[in-house]
Amino acid sequence: MKFGFAENIDDAIETYICTPETFENLMAEMGEEVKNWCKLHFFSGNSAQALLCSQTNKRPIALLGCGSINSRKSGRFFLAAAAKKLPAGCYKIVNEIPLQNPKLEVLGWLMSQYKFTKFKGQSKNSAVKLIKPDNLDTEWIEAVLAGEVLARDLINTPANHLGPSELEKAAEELSAEFDAKLEVVSGDELLDKNFPMIHAVGVASANTPRLIDLKIGSSGPKLTLVGKGVCFDTGGLNIKPGNSMGIMKKDMGGAANVLALARAIMGIGINIQLRVLIPAVENSIAGDAFRPGDILNSRKGLSVEINNTDAEGRLVLADALSYASEDDPDLIISMATLTGAARVALGADIAPFYAGADSDAVALSKASGPAMDPVWRMPFWDPYDKLIEPQIADLDNAPSGGFAGSITAALFLRRFVNNPKKYIHFDIYSWQQNSSALGPKGGITQGPRAILMALDKLLSY
């Protein structure tokens, strides 16, 4: 199914959006017949209300309620919540959208129509399509939507159809679309080119590990995005229990999110030097799998003691972050489905992030609300550094004790960037546990919209 704006057609249903505060004025404009129809169906502009109104000798119209301004403090994407209740068809918004951020609300409508149908037979068309609204930056909306759909499709695809080679193909298709440069280091070449931890984590899989490197742009500030591309995580020899392994196809959510952000940046045409690095592996079990107690060398030269093979994401990210730092970018952002501790701290909906510079944290926090992309700053708490320092190596990949798991993982990653002040890390979940206004249960982005809307400040060095 194609997602996006519908073609402008003559029989699109005229759609009016209102709130309880604007309802009476709208009814005065619509007339008694529509007003009586609303009264009959208890429509008053409240949140998530949708109503098709019949009219004598006229085509029906649609009304969508988005709730009182006082009720919106506890939610987001109010237009999407209402649009989800409309019957399939094509709609055209004809009044001014009485919401704080119409552009994001319209994006929400489009995102709400997402369905993952790759492995289904033909399904009936149940889409609630939308004609491009007037006076909105629809190119921005379409660019962000394309990234969102790309990420969701990647995350939702099972590991037998999306391994490291298929993730490379997704990056290749994106680079071809925008005439970007793509380089890939794979297999034993990872050892030859000094990416030992990416190789160690992925060598046990039949699907060869690799480092995907996409570049575009020759002017402007340098932004490097690093995404964890663990296409399936068994936990390695510290094997996960079955109920924890059930959605580990999403462990490449960091890679999907940086590709989504890159797709949006390229689609909008932001003038920066953009680089995307994705260490793509499967954490599998075989005779050559890395073991608890092993000590691995890293690209940076730091040795790492393996105390849990299920803490593999930080290992592959470490080599990629070291490589990213060698180019001295203005900013490095890593995104990863890294720790369960982050979910315990903030739940599934909020993406925790760590920022080396207070100004970057402020920029992201301020952008989060308008972007309808909830994020929350967590601390690079320096006193916990000692927790990641074992006795017989430079670093420990899984400190014992069970406390501050997300923070210690972030501190581990920070050791591999040359300039911690120019580093931001997102510990995301990238999974919607239940269906919502934004679509069905499954993969979703967390963080890209907030980053995108803060980008001018993040890169104002």
- pLDDT tens string for the chain (461 positions)? 578 999 888 889 999 999 999 999 999 999 999 999 999 999 999 999 999 998 888 999 999 999 987 766 666 899 999 999 999 999 999 999 999 899 999 999 999 999 999 998 776 778 999 999 989 999 999 999 999 999 999 999 999 999 999 999 999 999 999 999 999 999 999 999 999 999 999 999 999 999 999 999 999 999 999 999 999 999 999 999 999 999 999 999 999 999 999 999 999 999 999 999 999 999 999 999 999 999 999 999 999 999 999 999 999 999 999 999 999 999 999 999 999 999 999 999 999 999 999 999 999 999 999 999 999 999 999 999 999 999 899 999 999 888 999 999 999 999 999 999 999 999 999 999 999 999 999 999 999 999 999 999 999 86
Q: Residue 51: which H helix or E strand, with range?
A: strand 49-55
Strand segments (E) across 78-137: 89-93, 128-130
Q: Which of 428, 135, 112 is nearest to 261 (CA)?
A: 428
Kindly give, in sequence order, each residue whose CB lies less than 8 Å from that of residue 359, ignoring residues fewer than 6 positions away: 457
- What pLDDT shows up at residue 74? 60
The whole-number pLDDT of residue 9 equals: 86
Closest to 68 measured CA to CA, from 42, 44, 34, 90: 44
**Cα–Cα distance for residue pair 71/85, rounded to 1 Å:** 19
**CA end-to-end distance (rounded Å), the chain:** 42
Report the topology of domain 13-134: Leucine Aminopeptidase, subunit E; domain 1 (3.40.220)
140-458 and 13-134 share a CATH fold: no
**381 CB burial (10 A radius; 0-12, 13-18, 19+):** middle
Among this protein's residues, is 314 annotated catalytic?
yes
Question: 35, 115, 240, 377: which is the annotated catalytic residue?
Answer: 240
Choice among 314, 414, 415, 449 that is catalytic: 314
Respond yes or no: is residue 76 known to be catalytic.
no
Instruction: Return the pLDDT at 77.
Output: 94
Could you confirm whether domain 140-458 is CATH 3.40.630.10? yes
Pairing of strands 222-227, 210-216: unpaired
**What are the structural domain ranges in the chain?**
13-134, 140-458
What's the pLDDT score for residue 223?
A: 98
pLDDT of residue 402: 84
